[in-house]
Amino acid sequence: MTTPAPSAEALSARLVASVTGAFEVAAVELGRRLGWYGALDGAPATAAQLAERTGSDARYAREWLEQQAVAGFLTVDDPAAAPGDRCYALPPEYRPVLVDELDPLYTVPLAWAAMAFVRNVPRLAEVYRDGSGLSWAEMGPDAREAQAAANRPFFTGPLGTEVLPALPEVDAALRAGGRVADVGCGVGWSSIGMATAYPRARVDGFDLDGPSVARARAAAAEAGVADRVAFAVADVAAVPEAAGGYDLVTAFECVHDLPDPVGVLSAVRRLVAPGGTVLVADEKVAETFTAPGGDVDRLMYGYSLTCCLPDGLSTRPSAGTGTVMRPGTLAAYARDAGFAGVDVLPVEHDFFRFYRLLPGPRPASTPA
């Protein structure tokens, strides 16, 4: 059944609203880069005071403060006062969203990521024409750091305090000092979060991006878990089977990026110990394609267009999955890799869906 299209007027109004939102996202990113939100946290300021605190220009600070108040991000004591006399405040209830980097509601990294991805639109137009790709390395450090910052609150919090404890066999193994392989670990927050939650566990993180691994090693040292968390720049498919025997193998928000998801999942199957668990977390998109779609699908298609699909296609051959990997797609990859299937776990999260890959027959040993 075809869904009726909106009127031209309604579509135009929606696009104008989206452009307004894009400008507001850019303003949030400016606030992050310049430290303006942090400087206003618990300390209202005039434009001159904010500029002095942050080493920035007062006229630009004033324009940003006015925009943020008009948009409803900040409050102002007296709108009728002279521009230089107005004092602006960050509402305390907005602190989790705009300031606290570890709060689950911290949303500023999404603005950071959006700006990092859309600045590549001219380059994306080229790869869309010629069928090539755009790797994380070419996207630059902002893309890498923004994505990591967006996932950090969950990985260093509920992953280890809520999700893994709800899996009895995983919880027991890690409490007893089990081993974890964290595939596609990025800058390492998932590895660090699991090691922090389970003081006896040992975690090996694997990623192909050298700068991410370097950042992960530094973060592990800062978190005080470097003695139990090791990171390697490696394709997990090349990790020797003898190094396996992991009680838990995780792949968080990375399977949809892989050029060869079946090959990586086959390697995962070799590395997990008998009776061990393979846990995948990926985007909580709708189970089937619908148009128009829901808010999560709209967001994830945005990620796919500007980041994940171009990255996946930057290596050939490639499955070309894209961000919107529906459950049936992952189940097919898992079966092709030798798993018996997947179970969707009853874990509530706004953006992630969690899968346990069901073991199939053990793969034959490969020669050393």
- Digit-by-digit pLDDT tens for the chain (368 residues) are 567 788 999 999 999 999 999 999 999 999 999 999 999 999 999 999 999 999 999 999 999 999 999 999 999 999 999 999 999 999 999 999 999 999 999 999 999 999 999 999 999 999 999 999 999 999 999 999 999 999 999 999 999 999 999 999 999 999 999 999 999 999 999 999 999 999 999 999 999 999 999 999 999 999 999 999 999 999 998 888 877 899 999 999 999 999 999 999 999 999 999 999 999 999 999 999 999 999 999 999 999 999 999 999 999 999 999 999 999 999 999 999 999 999 999 998 999 999 999 998 765 555 44
Instruction: Please tell me the distance from the alpha carbon of residue 11 to that of residue 159, in angstroms, as a whole number.
Output: 40
Going from the N-terminus, what domains does the chain have, and what CATH number goes with each?
8-99 (1.10.10.10), 116-358 (3.40.50.150)
State the Cα angle at 149 between 145 and 151, rounded to 5°: 120
Query: Do 321 and 258 form a contact (C-beta atoms < 8 A)?
Result: yes
SS3 205: strand
**Sign of the C-alpha dihedral computed for residues 255, 256, 257 and 259 taken in this order:** positive
Distance of alpha carbon 240 from alpha carbon 244, whole angstroms? 7
Pairwise CA distance, residues 303 & 164, whole Å: 27
Q: Name the pTM for this structure.
A: 0.93
What's the chain's Rg over C-alpha atoms? 23
At 343, list the tokens: 């179970």
Phi first, then psi: give them for residue 21, nearest 5 degrees. -65, -40
- Within 72-183, residue ranges assigned H as helices are 95-98, 108-118, 121-130, 136-139, 141-155, 158, 168-175
Distance from C-alpha of 247 to C-alpha of 270, rounded to nearest angstrom: 12
**Residue 260 CA to its chain's centroid (Å):** 20
Helix, strand, or coil here: 362?
Answer: coil
